[in-house]
Amino acid sequence: MKTVLITGASTGLGKDFAELFAKDGYSLILVARNKGKLESLKNEIKTKYGQESYVFVKDLSLPGSAKELFDEIKKKNLNIDSLVNNAGIGLNGAFAENEFQEETQMLQLNVVTLVELTHLVLPEMIKRKSGEILNIASTAAFQPGPYMSGYYASKAYVLSFSEGIAEEVNQYGIKVSTLCPGPTKTEFFNRADMNESKLASNPILTMDSKTVAKLGYKALKKGQVVKIAGFLNFLLAQSIRISPRFMIRKIAKGLNYIKK
Helix ranges (DSSP H) in 108-208 = 114-128, 149-169, 188-191
Residues 6+ apart with CB under 8 A from 64: none
d(CA 128, CA 54): 22
- Kindly name the residue from 26, 49, 147, 151 that is annotated as catalytic: 151
151 in catalytic set: yes
Order of strands, sheet of 3-7, starting from the edge strand that comes earlier in the sequence: 53-57, 27-32, 3-7, 82-85, 131-136, 174-180, 226-228
Q: Say if strands 184-185 and 207-208 run parallel, antiparallel, or are unpaired.
A: parallel
Q: Say if strands 27-32 and 53-57 run parallel, antiparallel, or are unpaired.
A: parallel
Q: How wide is the angle at C-alpha 152 spanned by C-alphas 236 and 246, nearest 5°? A: 60
The answer to whether the beta carbons of residues 106 and 27 sit under 8 Å apart is: no
| Catalytic machinery residues | 151
